[in-house]
Structure 1
Amino acid sequence: MATALEQDAAVDVERIRRVARYAGFRPEVQGLRFVAVLLVVLYHVFLDRVSGGVDIFLLISAFFLTLSFVRKLESGGPLALGRYWLHVFKRLLPLAVLTVLGTLLLAWLFFPEARIERIRTEALATVLYVENWALAFAEVDYYAADDSTASPFQHFWSLSVQGQVFLLWPLLFGAAWLLTRRGPWRPVPVLAVLFGAVFTGSLAWSVWSTTTNQAFTYFDTRARLWEFALGSLLALAVPHLHPPRVARVVLGWLGAVSMVSVGVLIDVQGAFPGWVALWPLLSAAAIVVAGRSGSPFGVDRILASRPLVGLGDASYALYLVHWPLLITYLVVRDRPVAGPRSGVVIILVSLLLAVVATRVVEKPLQRWQWPERNKRHLAVSVAVSLSLVAVPVTLWSAADERRAAELAAEAARNSPGAAALAPGFEFRGDPDAPALPLPSQLGEEWVGLPEPCSGRFAPEEEVLEAHCRQTPAVRNPGRTVAVVGNSHMEQFMGAVIPVAEEHGWQLVAVLQPGCPFAVRPEGDPCHEGNEAALDYVERIEPDVVMTTSTYAARMDGSAETVVDGFPELVDRLGARGIEVVGFRDNPRFDFNPYECAERHGADDARCRVPVDRVLGPENPADALSDRPWFTSLDLTELICPDGLCRPVVGNVYVFMDPHHLTWTYARSMAPALEPWITG
């Protein structure tokens, strides 16, 4: 009969065996990490398509993370979650901070000033690991054709998701520890159930949301969790899988060929991260399962080679530096994509910087023992890293705010805007004053009303709750005016607000991005919102509805037209005695006039467009003027005076982007607009 000592020894041996099963360095996976990042770089630079490399990178991160925690669980050692969290961000932040600071320097030197405020905001979002949500809620199109307009921090979305998972995953391991602490269950089966549930739920969410709102879903952490869960399930399963040598060779090469070809064989644009992402992930999983084949013909002979394993150490740095270098080059050269020769140079420079940063910064800091002495030291190192970005960004923003306040005090004298077009106007301001709004103020140039709709103006339609705003309640208003439509009508409202305040009108706005106000058929993307807006307007019965009546021509030669369904809208509201004022649409350009003026000067011919290239010879909505309840309003002479669309009028920028007016300029149009809408 075995003694207690022998039983304890047997338990220890079994524990050691279980721990050893999940131990050991996997050089072929480290080489795979580099290949995944290299695919990302190559596809970004040369093809401007999704490769699946980022998804593989996320899977490998979860794979290694899971192996580490399973060893802790099987050995019975403490999980030390607090120390783990501090340690992982102490390891990740230095190179990220170095990249952020370098990118901010590049932005300051080379980027249009109009983009600086957004870049500063994203710099903070990056080091706080929320860049993916910043991009999602900013409605960024990851597949935009012109990469020169992309954020130099856009690639940090995946690292933000990874950072969030590094916070979440240890909680799942902690749950497994609690469930197996005193019961008969072993950690690995429990973890398999937990990660299986995450995989199933997240994949289902990813597939559904990709079909309904792909642009948002691309950056949505919830739609990416299944990729990490697959990596964790792979880590749990691999020690139990022992395919023969021939199968390992075949599996490895099939996985490698499939992984490299995914973005070449099919254009997955708009499909990620739904079910299509299974292709690169299962390809990578095949390589991991193949492992070390022991065959001279196995793909692992390449992946586990010394050069690839060494470059695998630099893969994190390579991913960090390649994107800001690419975007800076495109901004400097004013190109939408890189050419073959410039692309090769960008990749080689990125590789060199990545290797240097890894050896000079990352490795020495990893070997530095002071932060590892206790959690307080770790916390200090993390705080210092964050402050290296937060402090300069905050000071930079504060300096811009002080400058903006000083200029605002003199704005009436120095920046008259549309008032400069009045007959007999004489400019008496500072001729050297910069045009307004300043680039740092562009984020404040979207027009808005101060309060959500309430009282009798509160919408009953659920779809309108987030889109309805009003001015403070006016007792016995001279008029109740409903401003309804898309973002162009929102900008025109900047000229209406001062008139409404002057005459004591009650303003209510229902603004839905991308949807001009009209009667739209079922199946149209704007049908539901517009029908709800129509019902709302008919219920509150305003004196006047103001909206856009036309859709401007584009510089590609398309014609200016009346908005589809607008005549039916006018007749429907007119039958209820509601007057409709239709604003002619403002011009739409294929470039950003604000940035053009910054780069080349407001008087440069490249920044000026004849009005007949972006609008028709006549306002097409004038054809509806025979309806007594309709007024056609054309502000083109204020926006593009003398038949020429200029970026600056009266020392005020007219446009904030390719097709939206600045609130500053719209406000300056109010005196000229007043007699047209008060008569």
Structure 2
Amino acid sequence: AVERHRTAQLEARAELNNPGARVLEPGYEFTGDENAPTLPRPEELADYHADLGSKCPSDIDIDSSVRKYCTEVLGNDDAEKTVLVLGNSHAQQWIPAIKTYAQDHNWRVIAYVGQGCFYTEASQQPKTQPHCAGWFEHSEHLLTSNDFDTVFLQGTFASVESERVNENLTSAIRRLTGRGTTVVGIRDNPRFKEGLTQCALTLGRDDPQCTQVPPAVRQDDPQKALADGIDGYVTVDMTSFICPGGSCHPVIGNVYVFADTNHLSAPYGESLIDAFGDQLTEALS
């Protein structure tokens, strides 16, 4: 009971004490408690998977063998658009931002998420994730048999050393846009050999070893040329809010930025909702 009460107090004060990426907005002034605990608490770091909503609706045409990967994030009988979030956990982490934007724009949101899978080609699915072969195999049927106005997917693939656009993904994007579907490529977030948050918990958040500059952060979004060349393909790049000024810090706005070596923490992802929405509005305009 004490622990639940403490958690409730931290959450109630989080908007003031733990603004996260909101501190990067022009003119932001911190008015919270400078001694407030940094969120998420260490024991909550692993809880970064965004809520995928309810089971797949009956009107979505999808093979029964992979229906378990389909969910309805936001239902809306009078939706102006139906959009799909397609990919793995790196697409899933943007669902809170996409859902908020969808609520404001009268959209319905469906997700098709396979943990550890890549929307590229069959041969590139991780051998350690045997379910990905079926997930990918039936993705094309899902896309061609349902009328999705917009598809959100992971547009680049980052590693510790580099970041690239996959050629097979480029072909898939052309197929989608050729059918009149708008595709939003979300730039992948940086990845690290060792977690910055874990470093901060061990050495302290201000230790210089816990701030890194991955090679991918030094370059422009690799999707730019692709977006310039494909009508209907637009991009969202949140790198400047994840690693502002080209450096990746363990803590921004009293929030741990990363949950592990390659995922954003849930509170930091939620603090990016407004910035994500602004970029999406600009991209779709």
Q: State yes or no: 1:641 paired with 2:244.
A: yes
* 1:197-596 to 2 correspondences below 5 Å: 398-457=1-60, 459-521=61-123, 526-554=132-160, 558-596=161-199
Q: Distance in 2 between matches of 1:539 and 1:446?
A: 28
What is the aligned-residue identity percentage?
34
Determine the structure 1 residue equivalent to 2:212.
Answer: 609
Tell me if the contact between 1:519 and 1:527 (Cα under 8 Å) persists in the aligned partners: no
1:460 maps to amino acid: I
Select the residue among 229, 252, 268 that pairs with 1:665: 268
Note the C-alpha offset of 1:539: 1.5
Tell me if the contact between 1:494 and 1:663 (Cα under 8 Å) persists in the aligned partners: no
In 2 relative to 1, CA 579–539 (structure 1 residues): closer, same or farther, beyond 3 Å? same
RMSD between aligned residues:
2.0
- Listed one character per residue, the Cα deviations across residues 160-211 of structure 1 (whole Å, up to 9, x for unaligned) are xxxxxxxxxxxxxxxxxxxxxxxxxxxxxxxxxxxxxxxxxxxxxxxxxxxx
Tell me if the contact between 2:158 and 2:190 (Cα under 8 Å) persists in the aligned partners: yes
Q: Distance in 2 between matches of 1:521 and 1:659?
A: 23
In 2 relative to 1, CA 519–579 (structure 1 residues): closer, same or farther, beyond 3 Å? farther
Q: Distance in 1 between matches of 2:105 and 2:182?
A: 18
Rg larger in 1 or in 2?
1
Q: Distance in 2 between matches of 1:524 and 1:409?
A: 41
In 2 relative to 1, CA 432–449 (structure 1 residues): closer, same or farther, beyond 3 Å? same
Tell me if the contact between 2:70 and 2:112 (Cα under 8 Å) persists in the aligned partners: yes
In 2 relative to 1, CA 589–630 (structure 1 residues): closer, same or farther, beyond 3 Å? same
Q: Secondary structure of the equivalent of 1:456?
A: coil
Q: Distance in 2 between matches of 1:399 and 1:599?
A: 26
Tell me if the contact between 2:117 and 2:126 (Cα under 8 Å) persists in the aligned partners: no
Tell me if the contact between 1:482 and 1:508 (Cα under 8 Å) persists in the aligned partners: yes
Q: State yes or no: 1:597 paired with 2:203.
A: no
Tell me the TM-score normalized by structure 2: 0.90
In 2 relative to 1, CA 487–522 (structure 1 residues): closer, same or farther, beyond 3 Å? closer
Tell me if the contact between 2:17 and 2:254 (Cα under 8 Å) persists in the aligned partners: yes
Q: Distance in 1 between matches of 2:121 and 2:112?
A: 15
Tell me if the contact between 1:489 and 1:547 (Cα under 8 Å) persists in the aligned partners: yes
Q: Which has the higher strand share?
A: 2
Aligned residues: 277
The gaps in structure 2 that reach 5 residues or longer are none
Note the C-alpha offset of 1:461: 1.4
Q: Distance in 1 between matches of 2:204 and 2:65?
A: 43
Q: Distance in 1 between matches of 2:262 and 2:100?
A: 22
Runs (4+) off by over 6 Å: none
Tell me if the contact between 1:418 and 1:665 (Cα under 8 Å) persists in the aligned partners: yes
Q: Distance in 1 between matches of 2:4 and 2:216?
A: 35
Note the C-alpha offset of 1:479: 2.2
Q: Distance in 2 between matches of 1:563 and 1:512?
A: 18
Tell me the TM-score normalized by structure 1: 0.39
The gaps in structure 1 that reach 5 residues or longer are 1-397
2:207 maps to amino acid: D
Q: Distance in 1 between matches of 2:2 and 2:48?
A: 19
In 2 relative to 1, CA 642–524 (structure 1 residues): closer, same or farther, beyond 3 Å? closer
Q: Which has the higher helix share?
A: 1
